[in-house]
Amino acid sequence: MFRIQWKQLRNYAVVVALAVTGTAALWQHQPVVAQSAPQPRSLPDFTDLVDAVGPAVVNIRTMERSRAAAAAPGPGGGQMDEEMQEFFRRFFGVPMPNVPRGGQRPSPRGGEEETPRGVGSGFILTQDGFVMTNAHVVDGADEVIVTLTDKREFKAKLIGADKRTDVAVVKIEATGLPAVKLGDIGKLKVGEWVMAIGSPFGLDNTVTAGIVSAKGRDTGDYLPFIQTDVAINPGNSGGPLINMRGEVIGINSQIYSRSGGFMGISFAIPIDEATRVAEQLRTSGKVSRGRIGVQIDQVTRDVAESIGLGKAQGALVRSVESGSPADKAGVEAGDIITKFNGQTIDRATDLPRLVGNTKAGSKVNLSVFRRGGSRDLAITVAELEPEKAPVRRAAAPDDKPKASPAAQSIGLVVSELTESQKKELKLKGGVKVDTATEGAARAGIREGDIIVAIGNTEVATVREFDNVVAKVDKAKPIPVLLRRGELATYLLIRPARG
């Protein structure tokens, strides 16, 4: 055992006390350093937004007229139908599918009945009763009924609908209505909170919220959609997408789903695009769009590099409509449109939007990349017409295939085009593919295709084709511009596999 003398213990205690006192004094003289920690952010409160915007959101119910017919009772008779309707009403809050709410309504016209067709949403644009919604909500409806949050119902008049953008405007006879405020899409940021109000499955004034997942999603020819994770379901269509300032920044229009219900991805029409359409609908009842008469496709990175374009941008012209503005301006199949009216075409889908928003009769400049160089063309935009069914052309009789050693080296057998084939296809020259094997077949070239250029060099005859093929570097992908029917495209013949 250790023995500690009292005197030693006392001296030790004094030392410890002095040490503690000194440390305390030292701490008193040290400056206090505040540690900066990020302040936790609270979740947003949407109650004020619902109070402010909710009264301007409406329920839209559509009806259609049908001939009255004697309804044969199903299994179990009418009593079973009534029980099933009550089950759906109690547990789901909606009528049983395909069964009218409250039965069919007799129409003033003899022999006809009005039956419910669908339910959607909308929002009030102006205090005098203009309402915006989706075109698919009111499409085919014989009667449109708008219900406000105060339970007032109005029969609405369809002012106009545009199926291409899925925007429609209806009008109710009322004044002093609560109207929404429209936001600025340019200020919308990915990740910010947004809210939706609508009637999913017929459940009026339902509020859901989420964030903006992406902007500029290409899901249509004329619209760059807003992608969100806001819960959107059937019945939400046509309702507003609202930012935290209480402004409408989009119309809920589509969802991505494998089941028919919400799966975490929904799309809204940007309000600036929708407003542009709505103004035309209110003015003339229809939307006027520009057209230049080309069919286009994306430009791939491989094609861009192989023809000297460098960056994968622009719109590849696959065909030019005869007599169209593009045809008159000198646009050719195989051209890549890089600018329209001074605005760069980054993706092929940019072109229809720019052309569509251009007033018919406007004269603009078009920049195209052709055979390794750029050129500017002047074009007069026409008005977009209803789409026409493509006309199938009768195939011209084949000439006897003529083998070409140069063509065979890349897996092709080609032959000359007849004058009738050139006239039919509106081509100055080219060679017809009679057989495609090896590298050509792997590239996707097939019998009947017309090759009009190798690399950036046009070929009008088999001899020209042979000369060009003999000179190309076969260790690199060979870009081939061809016509298939009335469409043009680029394909790459790659070196033989080792």
Return the pLDDT at 410: 83
Average pLDDT over residues 47-71: 81
Show the DSSP H helices in 416-459 as ranges.
419-425, 438-443
Assess whether the region 181-284 and the region 290-383 belong to the same CATH fold: no
11 is in an annotated binding site: no
Return the pLDDT at 3: 47
166 is in an annotated binding site: yes
Closest CA to 54 of 123, 129, 145: 123
User: Per mean pLDDT, which range of 12-26, 142-156, 280-294, 320-334 is the poorest?
Assistant: 12-26
Distance CA 256, CA 228 (A): 11
Contact 264, 298 (CB under 8 A): no
Distance CA 329, CA 445 (A): 30
Q: Could you name the CATH architecture of 405-493? A: Roll (2.30)
Return the pLDDT at 260: 59
136 is in an annotated binding site: yes
Show the DSSP H helices in 211-359 as ranges.
271-284, 301-306, 325-329, 350-356
**385-to-193, 291, 316 alpha-carbon distances in Å:** 40, 8, 22
Q: Where are the domains of the chain?
A: 55-65+88-171, 181-284, 290-383, 405-493
**146-to-120, 167, 174 alpha-carbon distances in Å:** 10, 16, 11
Distance CA 133, CA 239 (A): 7
Higher pLDDT, 385 or 140: 140
Enzyme catalytic residues: 136, 166, 237
Distance CA 464, CA 452 (A): 11
User: Per mean pLDDT, which range of 122-126, 182-186, 192-196, 397-401 is the poorest?
Assistant: 397-401
Residues 6 or more apart whose Cβ sits within 8 Å of residue 37: none
Query: How many CB atoms are closer than 10 A to CB 242?
Result: 30
Query: How many CB atoms are closer than 10 A to CB 312?
Result: 15
**Is domain 55-65+88-171 classified as CATH 2.40.10.10?**
yes
**179-to-126, 299, 466 alpha-carbon distances in Å:** 5, 44, 70
**Radius of gyration of the chain from Cα atoms?**
34
236 is in an annotated binding site: yes
Return the pLDDT at 229: 92
Write the pLDDT tens digit of every residue in 265-314.
Answer: 889 999 998 999 999 999 988 888 899 999 998 898 988 888 898 889 99
The length of the chain, given as a count of residues: 498
Return the pLDDT at 207: 94
Residues 6 or more apart whose Cβ sits within 8 Å of residue 54: 149, 197, 205, 207
Torsion of CA 401, 405, 406, 411, to 10 degrees: 70
Distance CA 147, CA 439 (A): 64
Distance CA 310, CA 305 (A): 5
Taking phi first (over 0 means left), then psi (-120 to 50 degrees means alpha), and beta for anything else, what does residue 293 get? left
Q: How far is CA 119 from the centre of its chain?
A: 23
Percent of the chain whose predicted confidence (pLDDT) is above 70: 74
Q: Is a pLDDT exceeding 90 seen at residue 16? A: no
351 phi and psi, to 5 degrees?
Answer: -65, -50
Query: How many CB atoms are closer than 10 A to CB 397?
Result: 8
Q: CATH: 2.30.42.10, 3.40.605.10, 3.30.590.10, 3.30.70.270. Which one for 290-383?
A: 2.30.42.10
Return the pLDDT at 404: 62
322 is in an annotated binding site: no
Distance CA 28, CA 24 (A): 6
Q: Is a pLDDT exceeding 70 seen at residue 19? A: no
Show the DSSP H helices in 258-349 as ranges.
271-284, 301-306, 325-329
Percent of the chain whose predicted confidence (pLDDT) is above 90: 37
Distance CA 334, CA 315 (A): 10
Contact 53, 180 (CB under 8 A): yes
Contact 307, 327 (CB under 8 A): no
**Is domain 181-284 classified as CATH 1.10.260.40?**
no
Return the pLDDT at 422: 84
Write the pLDDT tens digit of every residue in 213-267.
Answer: 999 887 656 678 999 999 988 888 999 999 999 999 999 987 765 555 667 788 9
What global pTM score does this model have?
A: 0.63
Residue-averaged pLDDT of the chain: 79
Contact 46, 207 (CB under 8 A): yes
